[in-house]
């Protein structure tokens, strides 16, 4: 069984790009595109890593991360946060809540691949 990642993102082009580069690298990629039941999706799939967008329909990525960090089975899960807004306050908020890594859009394929592989090794 390979490494599994759950991509919680609502932009189809980003889902497609991330899915392509990670599956090519041997990852099993699952996707979820709304914030409302994202935490349930994480608990159900039990991925090795989560890639989480900040702005999602229904619920913010920050709220989802807070709930994941509070859960005994998801508290230590590596989470790579993605955002279109790269202001220092956004990064500070993500780090404060417990994001493992923070990346602004647009990003390169190499950046995403490097980030997930670093997180899974850590």
Domain boundaries, the chain: 4-121
Question: Does residue 106 have a cis bond before it (omega within 30 degrees)?
Answer: yes
Q: Which of these ranges, 26-40, 51-65, 79-93, has the smallest mean pLDDT?
A: 79-93
Alpha-carbon distances, residue 27 vs 4, 63, 99, 100 (angstroms): 6, 26, 21, 19
Q: What pLDDT is attached to residue 122?
A: 83
- What radius of gyration do the chain's Cα atoms show? 13
CATH topology of domain 4-121: Rossmann fold (3.40.50)
Per-residue pLDDT at 87: 87
- Is pTM, for the whole model, over 0.75? yes
Indicate the pLDDT class of residue 72, thresholds 50, 70 and 90: very high
């Amino acid at each position: 069984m390979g490494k599994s990642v759950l991509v919680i993102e609502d932009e189809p082009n980003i889902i497609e790009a991330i899915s392509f580069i990670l599956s090519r690298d041997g990852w099993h990629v699952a996707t979820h595109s709304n914030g409302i039941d994202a935490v349930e999706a994480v608990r159900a799939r039990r991925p090795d890593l989560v890639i989480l967008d900040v702005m999602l329909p229904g619920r913010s990525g920050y709220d989802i991360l807070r709930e994941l960090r509070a859960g005994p089975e998801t508290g230590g899960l590596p989470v790579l946060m993605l955002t279109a807004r790269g202001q220092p306050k956004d990064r500070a908020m993500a780090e404060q809540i417990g994001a493992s890594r923070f990346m602004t859009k647009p990003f390169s394929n190499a950046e995403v691949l490097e980030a997930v592989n670093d997180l899974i090794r850590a």
